[in-house]
Structure 1
Amino acid sequence: MAAWAVAVVAAAGPVAPTHDVRAAAPPGRPNVLLLPMDDARTGQTFAMPKALAWLSDNGKLFGEHGLPEKFMPYLQAERVPLPISWPGHIPAGSDRRLAANLDITPTVLAAAGLTPSFQVDGRDLLAPGDRRALLTEYWRDPANGAGIPSWASTVVPGRYRYTEIYDDAFTVTDREYYDLARDPWQLTNPLQDGSTRPALAAALARQRTCTGRDCP
């Protein structure tokens, strides 16, 4: 399982990353580093971080839904914590807002005082506001198992999850819908009879082509 640390470090301090600096800051601004936790544990030295975020790959399923892997859209394989530390700026405690890995970039750029010159997906987690839904997608990769198809899924935590399964031409071959208020373990799919949810299908199509901070 991959694990990563994102650090915002003072520009004047020593920087010796084992991976490229992803955002070289102008003079007087912090640097932003992305490094694997495996490398971070090997004695590499860094300036004292201003802010630090830890993020992990999603976890494997251990028999849930009859699957031994993590490449299908079920919450048990998706929920991971996202610890962020910034002494003096973020108080100790927990934040129950829905977040995603694409929020790391705008959050780190905001912490570093950097303004991107390009469109950034995701949201600055240091700012107020919440996302209502989250889009997750997977493109078939034979290296992960030939039987795992491409899919796209939209989830509103505590309410519902809608998923479309695609063939290699991205034609819908199957659909799944779960009422997460009544079925939080995603066990009963009422669309097994071939029925559809046109409004949710349209919402998913919009989300898949959306860009910017207001996208799920």
Structure 2
Amino acid sequence: MKPRYCAFVFACLAGVISSGSSVLGPIALGQDRPPNIVLLLSDDQAWTDYSFMGHESIQTPNLDELARRSAVFPRGYVPTGLCRPSLMTLLTGHYASTHGVTGNDPSPKYAEPDSELYNQRRAQLIANLDRLGAIPRLLGERGYLSHQSGKLWEGSFQNAGFTHGMTRGFPQRGGRHGDDGLNIGRKGIEPIAEFVDMAVSEQKPFFLWYAPFMPHSPHTPPERILKKYRNDETPISVAKYFAMCEWFDETCGEVMKLIDDKGQRENTMFVYLTDNGWIQDPASSKYAPRSKQTPYEGGVRTPIMYSWPGKIVSGERAELATSLDIVPTMLAAAGAKTPDGLPGLNLLPNLESGDAINRERIFGESFAHDIADIENPEASLLFRWVIEGRWKLLLTYDGETNRYASTHPRTEKGPQLFDLIADPSEQSNLAADNRGVVADLAAKIDAWYPLKTATTVVTVD
């Protein structure tokens, strides 16, 4: 066992990985207490699949209510349409190409799963948190208690800096992507209720990471909900997915009611988004092309909501938003240290004033599910993309694909330019007729993320 891997394993087992040094320090007695922060995180849900986003069938009354009291960004995005990189962005505030966790797992092509080499690579990926820090640690420096439930890939909840939580994580047996934490929501929210009781009794501000395995497959909704969506026109796979969206909404309502019942609504900031998109395949339980794992709207677009009564101006916002903004915005609300070099914006001043956000474009990237080279993100790079105004440009690369490539192959390998206002489902590639726009946006992508290796752009004449 190599020393670096060995040290990581023992630290995880002991739950003693350092959370960094305090800068601002905990809240002193007599100071105004900063807000509680509740992150509600959907898992595998399309940006369209809410009542408040206009879906004709799916019922989401609790998130509809949250939307009514929130600043809502219908044009919200995650920079990477896959759960682990997306969640790592929410922990660190960085792009996947920076935080280094570009896929869900090291490629089994280069190391046999559960071999010593494979586990060394798993440990090295998780160790990126020590290099960059994580929001629970930064909030902890301000005296916050924090609770993790649901999805978490980066070791145990202690390793990620949470004071309380459910996930055992690697290197524990079965420790992957949430393990025990995946019971939350599907089997109630009692661990969260116990935590909130404790935090309120101790008069401590708290941070909740509520990332249930919902509406993620397996789609096993209660029959009482499923029967609402069963009909002759709706395939059963679609009806189950619709019901899962409502079940997830129901659990969000339970968390919201818990906060209300404890008298904490006025001093709680809610943040909502999904980790990546999902389009249900009507013929199976799987997802359809151009959704999860892709940079198309079905993979990376999500409504993003911020709510804080008396602080944040509610209403629908027209600007582009990205999950990269969430870490600096939450840290600002808490009065906590914000690390240097975060690419996202602190939106709190704009959310409080209602003023427009001064930003012209957002960027993103897409990598293979399996990480070919954990030292070189570009080995698995498939797309870089930008959205500016109505335009969205995708540039395609020949990074190594993965075990899922045959299921959802890349059918277009040249630049893809879409008018998202006229064509939100991205049916018409306008690149050939707008070469000047392609060249301009491609140059902006290069300025944002200049490639360092020999990864080749796949182009058309």
TM-score (norm 1): 0.68
Aligned-pair CA distance for 1:138: 0.8
* Corresponding residue SS for 2:347: coil
Change (3 A) 1:206 1:94: same
- Report what 1:152 is aligned to: 384
Which protein, 1 or 2, shows the higher relative CO under an 8 Å CA cutoff with sep ≥ 6? 2
Percent identity for Structure 1 against Structure 2: 26
Change (3 A) 1:117 1:190: closer
Change (3 A) 1:117 1:161: closer
The question of whether the paired residues in 2 share the 8 Å contact of 1:98 and 1:130 is answered with no
Aligned-pair CA distance for 1:166: 0.3
- Report what 1:161 is aligned to: 392
TM-score (norm 2): 0.35
CA distance in structure 1 between the partners assigned to 2:307 and 2:335 by the alignment: 16
Q: Which amino acid aligns with 2:417?
A: Y
The question of whether the paired residues in 2 share the 8 Å contact of 1:23 and 1:33 is answered with no
- Report what 1:177 is aligned to: 417
Q: Which amino acid aligns with 1:199?
A: D
The question of whether the paired residues in 2 share the 8 Å contact of 1:20 and 1:34 is answered with no
- State the Cα deviation string for residues 144-201 of structure 1 (Å, max 9, x = none): xxxx9710110124x21111110128xxx521112334433211213469x6832221
Higher strand share: 1
- Report what 2:309 is aligned to: 87
CA distance in structure 2 between the partners assigned to 1:124 and 1:57 by the alignment: 20
CA distance in structure 2 between the partners assigned to 1:53 and 1:67 by the alignment: 28
Which of 95-104 and 33-42 deviates more?
33-42
Which residue of the other structure, out of 325, 331, 342, is the alignment partner of 1:103? 325
The gaps in structure 1 that reach 5 residues or longer are: 7-18, 210-216
Match runs of 1:137-148 below 5 Å:
137-142=365-370
CA RMSD after TM alignment: 3.5
Change (3 A) 1:91 1:190: closer
Q: Which amino acid aligns with 2:148?
A: L
Q: Which amino acid aligns with 2:392?
A: R
Which residue of the other structure, out of 440, 447, 451, is the alignment partner of 1:199? 440
- Report what 1:71 is aligned to: 293
CA distance in structure 1 between the partners assigned to 2:342 and 2:439 by the alignment: 29
The question of whether the paired residues in 2 share the 8 Å contact of 1:22 and 1:33 is answered with no
Q: Which amino acid aligns with 2:385?
A: S
Which residue of the other structure, out of 112, 118, 141, is the alignment partner of 2:334? 112
CA distance in structure 1 between the partners assigned to 2:322 and 2:419 by the alignment: 21
1:52 aligns with 2:270: yes
Q: Tell me how many residue pairs correspond in the alignment.
A: 184
CA distance in structure 2 between the partners assigned to 1:34 and 1:82 by the alignment: 21
- State the Cα deviation string for residues 37-87 of structure 1 (Å, max 9, x = none): 564734322234632322321221246xx7164222222333222222222
From the CA coordinates, give the structure whose radius of gyration is larger. Answer: 2
* Corresponding residue SS for 1:96: coil
- Report what 2:191 is aligned to: 43
Change (3 A) 1:96 1:192: closer
The question of whether the paired residues in 1 share the 8 Å contact of 2:276 and 2:300 is answered with yes
Q: Which amino acid aligns with 1:43?
A: P
The question of whether the paired residues in 2 share the 8 Å contact of 1:97 and 1:130 is answered with no
Change (3 A) 1:53 1:36: farther
- Report what 1:2 is aligned to: 43
* Corresponding residue SS for 1:127: helix
Change (3 A) 1:168 1:115: same
